[in-house]
Amino acid sequence: MKVVQETCIAGRSIDRTVKVASGNHRERRNPKSNITSEQVQKNNDRLAVKNLMRLINANFGGGDLHVVLTYEIAAGQKQAKKDRNTFIKSMRRAMKKQGKELKYIAVTEYEHTRIHHHIILSKVDAETIERIWKKGWVKLSVLDDSGNYAKLAAYLIKETQRTFRQDDCMHKRRYSASANLVRPVVTRRYVNESELFDDPQPIKGYYIDQEHCRRYEHPVTGLEHLEYIMVAIDKPRRFKRWPGERICTDREYFRVNYEEEQQSLWE
């Protein structure tokens, strides 16, 4: 049975997935039948959370901001999209004058409450944000220095899991991001099947976030999966040869482009 280990280094965090390679299974199990659209959607949402988590972990850290922009007077979708773009352009100019570079990830929520924007952005003073956003109120939250923002990613994906699929939604993506963000790379290699069934062990200098460690049967393929996140205790290690290089003749390494990871096989 071939087992694949996927590893992604993103800032202070390293997330791993260990799974049976497609087409290989201990019991020669047939592909799952009667897969529902709900199962497919949940799987896509799970992948979206993982990809967004990696993007946040790789580009933001303690002191950066999670900003919520709300409206005093309700706005429609078209106007909200225009307002968000205008805000980002104005923030970019303002931060450039301060000698800073704007990095951001933006999400807009249209349902449940009045339209509002969630924006994760690089560290800047609150006065600048409040001066530029003139449509309503600003709520600021400072990111902690854990380097693991899985919960924030899950929250933002939950905010958009219905609206972005609607035909009349102005935003056809779950989130948008600035072009200057680091795009994490996923590295894959074949490993011994004990990696799938034994308890995971952290790399030296890291701990495993038990809250996000789980074993499960993939809802679409029916194959076994193990997922976990390792977080740096102090400073993240700088790997000279791993991942991404062949360091053992009996292991096969191959790289996966981040943009390819964003596309679900089940969409």
pLDDT digits (tens, 9 = 90+) for 213-236: 999 887 777 788 999 999 999 888
Residue 184 DSSP SS3: coil
* 148-162 mean pLDDT: 87
Q: Which has more confidence, 171 or 161?
A: 161
> Going from the N-terminus, what domains does the chain have, and what CATH number goes with each?
3-55+182-262 (no CATH), 59-177 (3.30.70.1910)
Residue 98: CA count within 13 A, CB half-sphere: 15
Per-residue pLDDT for 260 more than 70? no
Q: Are 106 and 176 in contact (CB under 8 A)?
A: yes
Alpha-carbon torsion angle 123, 126, 128, 134, nearest 10: 130
Confidence of residue 5 (pLDDT cuts 50, 70, 90): very high
Per-residue pLDDT for 171 more than 70? no
* 129-154 mean pLDDT: 95
Residues forming a β-bridge with 186: 8, 256
Q: Which has more confidence, 74 or 36?
A: 74
The predicted pLDDT at position 126 comes to 95
Q: Are 218 and 19 in contact (CB under 8 A)?
A: yes
* 89-101 mean pLDDT: 96
Peptide bond into 31 cis (omega under 30): no
Q: Are strands 3-10 and 186-191 parallel, antiparallel or unpaired?
A: antiparallel
Residue among 46, 75, 242 at smallest CA distance from 153: 46
Q: Are 50 and 186 in contact (CB under 8 A)?
A: no
The predicted pLDDT at position 245 comes to 38
